[in-house]
Homo-oligomer: A and B are copies of this chain.
Amino acid sequence: MKTTQNDATDLSAQIAKAIRDAIIDGKLIVDERLPSEAELADQFSVSRPTVREALKRLAAQSLIRTQRGAFGGAFVNRIAYPDAYGQQITTSTLLLSMNDISFDVACEARFAMERACAPMACARRTADHLATMRAEIHRQSQVGLSDESWCASDVAFHRALVDAANNPVLSYQLAGSVEAMQPLMNMITFTARSRERIIDLHTRIADSVEQNHPDECDHRLSELADYTMTLAKNVIDMRRTSAST
């Protein structure tokens, strides 16, 4: 009977887990220095390369940072928002692209969360956030904008909306959803007509945020979600048709 459990895991994985748990449990606090690689090798009764592999695993998760030289070493890292953003985006992107999750499911999740931000965005938006949203709308109106630039601007618009809620935790959570959708969105070819429609909705959303009309904002986001899913469905239908002929 094989348990498929962690008896058979690498030593470096076990050591990484031990240190990771110590950090999560607060036994190692931020900026605290870990023992040197040689000392860790002694403590865990393994060789230095094995310890190093464990430390690299932790570094990949931004749990530690290393510094060379005397009095250098591995230090418990304070996970900052940019680190967390990056990991969130990488993981979410791959989760979506590798698991043939339907466009609808991803889209629904994303807009559900975005709509949750709307009331706060209306109440707290600064002039900066509004300016960013307007600027992106303006960019979207330019003729001859490539599909990639269009999608990038779309992401920037929605991130400004989320940031307007002025809750960094929400911004962090949403970063994954919004950015991870971009590869999926890039598969949609936005015609001039559909761009026009989306720009109109973006404008109404920006207006409602400016005038603090959360219900209107929620409604327009809802419309945008529906319209996005319709566009996606058309693309998928067309592909299926052309593939079957």
A: residues with CB less than 8 A from B are 12-13, 16, 20, 23-24, 26, 30, 49, 52-54, 56-61, 63, 78-81, 84, 87-88, 90-99, 101, 105-106, 108-110, 112-113, 115-117, 120, 167-170, 172-173, 176-177
Q: List 10 A-B contacts (CB under 8 A).
A: A56-B56, A61-B87, A79-B98, A80-B99, A84-B95, A88-B91, A101-B168, A106-B169, A112-B117, A112-B120
* Cross-chain contact of A87 among B53, B78, B91, B96 (Cβ < 8 A): B91
CB distance from A207 to the nearest CB of B (A): 22
CB distance from A76 to the nearest CB of B (A): 9
Instruction: Decide: B56 and A91 in contact? CB cutoff 8 A.
Output: no
Secondary structure call for the A interface: helix
The 10 closest A-B pairs by CB, nearest first: A57-B60, A109-B169, A116-B116, A60-B60, A112-B116, A109-B170, A53-B56, A84-B95, A79-B94, A78-B98
Task: Answer whether A105 and B168 are a contact pair too, CB < 8 Å, given A26-B97, A91-B87, A99-B79.
Answer: yes
Instruction: Decide: B79 and A84 in contact? CB cutoff 8 A.
Output: no
- Who on chain B is nearest to A120 by CB? B112
CB distance from A118 to the nearest CB of B (A): 10
Considering the chains assembled together, what is the distance between the CA atoms of A79 and B54 in angstroms? Answer: 21
CB distance from A24 to the nearest CB of B (A): 6
Q: List B contacts of A13 (CB < 8 A).
A: 59
CB distance from A160 to the nearest CB of B (A): 18
